[in-house]
Structure 1
Amino acid sequence: MEAPNTLPVKKPKSEIVKQAKAYVEALLEEKLPKQLVYHSPRHTRTVAKEATALGEAAGVAAPDLEALQLAAWFHDTGYIEVYDGHEFRSMELAEQWLQQQQYPADRIALVKDLIKATHRDEQPTTELQQLMVDADMSSMGREEFFGNAELLRTEWETTQGKTYSNPDWAEYQLDFLSSAQFYSEAGKERYRKQFKANIKEQRELLKKMEKKAKKKEEQQVENFAEGKRGVETMFRATYGQHIQLSGMADQKANMMISLNTVMLSVIITYLGAKTSQVGPAFTKNPILAIPMGLLVATALGSVVTAILSAQPDVTSFKWLRRSPQIATNRRVNLLFFGNFTTLSLDNFQAGMHELMRDKDLLYTNMITDIYYLGEVLSRKYRLLRISYTIFMVGLILTAISFGIVLLYKM
């Protein structure tokens, strides 16, 4: 003979449960904040349905099943006023409504006790408490777990300001599933298979995300290598341009030095020579001293500024000897001999090793070097401009004064 069918017989809802259902649904639809996309009326209906199924599967008595159903309907009503600790407000709302319905005091206490069991700090001990907690957390053992998890993530972002990246959220969910459990025998039996499947799927999802993140990181490293070559090309081009400009400035300065020193040599030679015709002519015509003096002053001023422009400029940092962290100082350039020659060999070697270990420090020193090269170039070209200006203005004044002298003599 075949064994009789042992499936639980679905019991009809009591009148008080029907009234509670209508009251809670209207209350949540009216007052529940719209940001609560997970703890919604749909969630409450699902918990009430699962609580009924678990209670019937466990074969609890009708009065206890009624209390379990009432607790399931009221367990999230506190969300209409408070988020954290809503369970305690839910207990108060359930008590107020049940008292209005003249529900027995001992049964109200049981309903409140079942609602309290859903708090995260409570440990369910009785069978009814375990059934209630399992119904509330039944999403872990259902196929819609991942969709509900995204709703909860959205709810936390809008109401609690908690934001998670996709990998962080996947890891959080896996930790949650791995540490969670169903307490009642009916809950374990009802959700075991899907619960294990959800854990497995969540673990695979996290692995995929980690693999994708690793691949993205590798691509970023490759892109950085390409960017690094571009940076090095920029530094080479900048250094080359600065060196070329410095060479041009030195050539211009040498030209002015050569020209003006020749002029000074010729003027001094002819004015000082007793056998020359210029010496007696200059003695007879002292007015010639004006253009000749202007020419000498022009040549002297121009050659001095040109020499200053070509003069080597080495910045010294004597205080570097006392600096405990040389490489990290933004004003220090270990690549420039004017800086590192003030250091001891040990300090210089330590600083260079630190530069080679840290690309940011290396780039900082190269940038500092370019900055100081720019300062030197600015000084060179400023003095060159002064030298050329003196030479130009001096020649003009000399020519004008010499013309005036000739007109005066005529």
Structure 2
Amino acid sequence: MLENVFFKAVKTFVFELFKTELVPEAVYHNFGHTLRVVNASLEIGQAENLTENELEILLLAAWFHDSGFIIDFKNHEEKSKEIVKEYLGSLNFGDDKIKEVCAIIDATKMPQSPKSKLGQIICDADLFHLGSEDFNAKSNLLRAEMEQLCDRAFTEIEWAEKNTQFFNEHKFFTNYAFEKLNDQKALNLLKINKDLKKLKAKEEEQQLKIQNKSEVVKRKKRKEERPERGIETMFRVTLRNHIKLSDIADTKANILLSVSAIIMSVALSTLFPKLDKADNAYLIYPTLIFILTAVVTMVISILSTRPKVTSGKFTKEDISNKKVNLLFFGNFHKMQLNDFQNGMMEMMNDRDYLYKSLMKDLYFLGIVLNKKYRLLRIAYTVFMIGIVISVLAFIISFSMLELD
């Protein structure tokens, strides 16, 4: 039938239509696809024992069902009906037959829902490739066309999922198509599912690699954000020097305490027993000055070395708000271990918090040193002046005794 004069003219018309007016992006819905649908329609129609008149209507619909792509790819069925009406009208084709051809073209709309046997045949012919071994090639052409005409890119997984959904929703309507194509269709679906699993596994692997790479970058960034070696050295040296100064201050205080204690011992063991005699009254004032000097010196020395411990009570909010210096034991000795560990981890991961904590530690250590050395200076001054006055007092007392 396809070789008669009428259908040769139809073929030539459709060929010229696609050749001259179809956009290059239509790589699937072109003349090649139309020719395949025509041949499939003829094959199924003959297997379904259609009459000559039914075959003619079916083949006309097959030739023109995608011709509307030259005008509007989104609503091409309506445009296809307009083209076939104009073409068949120019040949004085009967209106009833034209309506039948248009009704069959309507059956190819997605999702397919044919209402006649001829509609079922053209639907099976239109999706004949679903049960063919060259399905992948046709699917790739359709994907390329959709991406270009619809301006939408599909990932490999998206396209595989779209094909899987389409396969699961599709069914062949005619007995011939079902018997001939359904087995290969099932194999094609299995291959799609297999490829989809591989693609998802590959994507998960890539995501894992990206995640691992991200973790490496984060660790590197955290490492870069930690204190630089020069700054660490500065804090280490400065804090060590301050601690040495504190040790020196404590040593000086101990010296004063020891000397004052010796003076007290000498005064109490040697001078005090003599004061109960009237003849030794001249020793009272020098001895009192001597002992008072030792006592005041000892008190001030003790004050310079007396430790001060803070409450050590801080909340998690204080740590989160960076209000507490966890580097000083007086600030954490009453904290729970977990709170202390969490606070230290937070501080180590925050360079600003760590720097400020070191600065606070250095600052308050400096304040303590200032207090120590100020009290020590007073103690040494008191001791020095007191010893001088005591000696002078003893000299004056002895001189007055000789004069008497």
- Provide TM-score, normalisation by structure 2: 0.61
SS of aligned partner of 2:146: helix
Name the counterpart of 2:9: 19
1:38 pairs with one of 28, 34, 44? 28
Give the superposition deviation at 1:13.
3.9
CA contact (8 A) 1:98 1:108 kept: yes
The residue that corresponds to 1:128 in the other structure is: 118
- What letter corresponds to residue 34 of structure 1 in structure 2? P
Counterpart among 78, 94, 105 of residue 115 in structure 1: 105
Contact 1:47 1:138 in 2 (8 A): yes
* 2:200 aligns with one of 184, 191, 210: 210
Name the larger-Rg structure. 2
* Aligned equivalent of 2:365: none
**Residues 104 and 122 of structure 2 are in contact (CA less than 8 Å); yes or no, is this contact kept in structure 1?**
yes
Is residue 2:137 matched to residue 1:156? no
Distance 2:36 2:7 in 1: 15
CA distance in 2, matches of 1:64, 1:335: 91
CA RMSD of superposed structures (Å): 4.1
The CA deviation string for residues 243-292 of structure 1, in whole angstroms up to 9 with x for no partner, is: 3233456789999xxxxxxxxxxxxxxxxxxxxxxxxxxxxxxxxxxxxx
Query: Cα–Cα, structure 1 residues 378 and 164, in superposed 2: closer, same or farther, change >3 Å?
Result: farther
1:114 corresponds to which letter in structure 2? I
Distance of aligned partners of 1:86 and 1:336 in 2 relative to their CA distance in 1, 3 Å threshold: farther
- Specify which of 207, 211, 231 is matched with residue 242 of structure 1: 231
1:141 aligns with 2:122: no
Q: Structure 2 counterpart of 1:238, which letter?
A: P
Conserved in 2, the CA contact under 8 Å of 1:242 and 1:373? Answer: no
Q: Which residue of 2 aligns with 1:189?
A: 179
The verdict on how the C-alpha distance between 1:87 and 1:61 changes in structure 2, with shifts beyond 3 A counting, is: same
Relative to structure 1, the CA distance from residue 233 to residue 111 in structure 2 (aligned partners, 3 Å threshold; closer, same or farther) is: same
1:372 and 1:51, CA in 2 relative to 1: closer, same or farther beyond 3 A? same
Q: Using the TM superposition, give the Cα deviation of residue 140 of structure 1 relative to its aligned residue in structure 2, in angstroms.
A: 0.6
Q: Distance in 2 between matches of 1:241 and 1:170?
A: 57
Counterpart residue number, 1:176: 166
Q: Which residue number corresponds to residue 274 of structure 2?
A: none
Aligned runs of 1:10-409 on 2, under 5 Å? 11=1, 13-224=3-214, 226-227=216-217, 229-231=219-221, 233-235=223-225, 238=227, 241-247=230-236, 369-371=350-352
For 2:300, the equivalent position in structure 1 comes to none
- Given that residues 2 and 8 in structure 2 are in contact (C-alpha distance below 8 angstroms), is that contact kept between their aligned partners in structure 1? no
How far did 1:219 drift?
3.8
Q: Structure 1 residue 31: deviation in Å?
A: 0.5
Letter in 2 for 1:245: M
Alpha-carbon distance in structure 2 between the residues aligned to 1:222 and 1:41: 50
Letter in 1 for 2:75: G
| Counterpart amino acid of residue 165 in structure 2 | D
Aligned to 1:313: none
The alpha-carbon deviation at position 29 of structure 1 amounts to 0.8
Distance (Å, rounded) in 1 between the aligned partners of 2:351 and 2:208 = 32
Displacement of 1:335 after TM fit? 9.1
Q: Aligned-pair distance for 1:333?
A: 5.3
- Cα distance in 2 for partners of 1:72, 1:12 equals 12
Q: Distance in 2 between matches of 1:366 and 1:161?
A: 50
Aligned residues of 1:333 and 1:366 also touching (Cα < 8 A): no
- Cα displacement (A) at 1:40: 1.6
1:111-143 deviation line (CA, Å, top 9, x unaligned)? 000001101145112110000111111111111
Question: Following the alignment from structure 2 to structure 1, what is the Cα–Cα distance between the partners of residues 68 and 322?
Answer: 65
Unaligned runs of 5+ residues in structure 2 are: 245-314, 361-404
2:227 counterpart SS class: helix
Q: CA deviation at 1:169?
A: 1.3
CA distance in 2, matches of 1:336, 1:138: 76
Pair 1:221–1:149, CA change in 2 (3 A):
same
How many pairs were matched up?
290
Q: 1:185 to 1:230 in 2, by over 3 A?
A: same
- Residue 74 of structure 1 and its aligned partner are, at CA, apart by 0.5
CA distance in 2, matches of 1:366, 1:54: 76
Residue 225 of structure 1, CA deviation: 5.3
Contact residue 131 and residue 184 of structure 1 kept, 8 A:
yes
Residue 79 (structure 1) shift: 0.8
Q: Which runs of 5+ in 1 are unaligned?
A: 1-10, 256-317, 357-361, 380-410
> Deviation digits for residues 174-232 of structure 1, max 9, x if unmatched?
12112211111122123122111111111111122223223334444554555455445
| 4+ residue segments displaced more than 6 Å | 249-255, 374-379
User: Taking structure 1 as the reference length, what is the TM-score of the superposition?
Assistant: 0.60
Residues 179 and 61 (structure 1), Cα distance of their counterparts in 2 relative to 1, 3 Å cut: same
Q: Distance in 1 between matches of 2:183 and 2:25?
A: 32
Distance 1:334 1:87 in 2: 73
CA shift digits 1:86-119 (9 cap, x unpaired): 1011011111100001111111011000001101
Could you tell me how far 1:170 is from its partner in structure 2? 1.2
